[in-house]
């Protein structure tokens, strides 16, 4: 990775954090930007850039997985980290399953599905709500 790519990734990471702060702050975009000295145009510019980067990364991983034959066509593998500690212990003694459907995507997990992976998947899906 060259210096330009590294700089771009650092900027994206910084703005991802800023956007996450705004989402959890409960403030309107206008108020959030005003208190932090950010113009609304800058905020929305980086929001678009991040959405585009995530879309491209998603499409790339989907294409790669389909080409290798590791994931059936129409599905993609999602890898996330750092959220498992927030998930409380699940009672796996009973039967049943969990089904989450958002924006045309459906995720179904039975009691054998690892809680840490379920937490990661739900974290990834939360921004889609």
Q: How far apart are CA 66 and CA 75, in angstroms?
A: 8
Which residue, 125, 62, 119, 118, is CA-closest to 86?
Answer: 119
| Same domain, yes or no: 96 and 52 | no
Q: Quote the pLDDT of residue 39.
A: 96
Shared-domain flag, residues 17 and 57? yes
Give CB contacts under 8 A, 24+ apart, made by 90-96.
90/115
- pLDDT of residue 8 exceeding 90, the answer is no
Chain segment 71-115, per-residue pLDDT in tens: 555 555 555 555 455 444 444 455 567 776 666 667 777 777 777
Sequence-distant (6+) residues with CB within 8 A of 50 are: 12, 15, 16, 19
Share of the chain above pLDDT 90, in %: 26
Quote the domain boundaries for residue 52.
Answer: 3-68
Mean pLDDT of 33-57: 91
- Global pTM reads 0.48
């Amino acid at each position: 990775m060259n210096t330009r790519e590294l700089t771009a990734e650092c900027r994206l990471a910084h703005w991802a954090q800023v956007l996450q702060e705004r989402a959890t702050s409960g403030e309107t975009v206008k108020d959030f930007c005003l208190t932090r000295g950010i113009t609304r145009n800058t905020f929305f510019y980086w929001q678009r850039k991040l959405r585009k980067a995530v879309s491209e990364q998603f499409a790339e991983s989907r294409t790669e997985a389909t080409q290798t034959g590791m994931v059936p066509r129409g599905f993609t593998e999602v890898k996330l980290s750092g959220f498992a500690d927030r998930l409380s212990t699940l009672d796996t003694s009973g039967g049943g399953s969990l089904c989450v459907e958002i924006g045309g995507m459906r995720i179904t997990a039975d009691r054998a599905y690892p809680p840490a992976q379920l937490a990661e998947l739900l974290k990834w899906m939360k921004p889609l709500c």
